[in-house]
Structure 1
Amino acid sequence: MRWPGRRARAGRGTTQPGCYRAANYTPLRPWQVRERRFRTTRLGRRGLDPAEVHEFLDRVALDLADVYRALGVSREETARVRDALRRWQSEQAQMRMNAGAYRR
């Protein structure tokens, strides 16, 4: 199954703390799995059924898309919690400053 309108996109390397990958490593994207094609075998040699390979690649691409979607949701939730924590810390610091001003 082909996915029309999908084109190769330039990847970006990641150098996150604790990441074992090289800076020029580009994560595999679902569209790359879907569009991957293999050479056919020469006449008289054994090979894989192209339809079966493409079906498997589509399944892998769907699973990979689900993982990226979940990762995006997780990052959004992390950002929301981080922002809430920062607001709470600011409020606590302000309350301490106000309490200290009243003691003097």
Structure 2
Amino acid sequence: MAQVYRNGRPIGTGRPHRPTPHEVRTHEFDPRRRGLDAEQVRAFQRHLADELALLHQELRALHAENTRLRQALRDWQATHTRPAPDQFRNNTGHW
């Protein structure tokens, strides 16, 4: 499902926003007088973005495997199902 945005915010999906690795890498923090070490924040962002990239890659692989297994199951079911008996094939009953 495609993500729909209005005013920079996702809408109408019914699911929480999932940050992308790019969004994590490029997120800007507000400057503070005694804020955090900027290099530590950037290092954490890089680490988190790399983790997200691996998770996205794993999710795509699992989706592909799921699709392959569903198709294999359908193929197996098609070759191993018995045809319906004649009494059901030529049913002329009310229902």
Q: Give the alignment's TM-score, normalised by structure 1.
A: 0.65
Q: In the alignment, is the contact (CA less than 8 A) between 1:31 and 1:61 conserved in 2?
A: yes
Structure 2 match to 1:91: 79
Structure 2 residue aligned with 1:36: 27
1:70 to 55, 58, 66: 58
* CA contact 1:41–1:47 (8 Å) conserved in 2: yes
Where does residue 14 of structure 2 map in the other structure? 23
| Identity in percent | 31
Normalized per residue, the structure richer in strand is: 2
Output the amino acid matched with 1:37: E
- The alpha-carbon deviation at position 26 of structure 1 amounts to 2.2
The answer to whether the Cα contact below 8 Å between 1:12 and 1:25 also exists between their aligned partners in 2 is no
1:51 Cα shift? 1.2
What amino acid maps onto 1:97 in structure 2?
A: P
Distance between the aligned counterparts of 2:15 and 2:52, measured in 1?
20
Structure 1 unmatched ranges of 5 or more: 1-10, 14-21
CA shift for structure 1 position 27 = 1.1
- Give me the TM-score of the superposition, normalised by structure 2: 0.71
What is the RMSD of the two structures over their aligned residues, measured on CA atoms? 2.2
Counterpart residue type for residue 38 of structure 2: P
2:70 to 82, 93, 99: 82
Stretches of 4+ aligned residues off by more than 6 angstroms: none
| Equivalent residue for 2:48, pick from 43, 49, 60 | 60
The number of residue pairs the alignment matches comes to 77
What's the offset of the Cα at 1:41?
Answer: 1.1
**The residue matched to 1:97 in structure 2 has which SS?**
coil
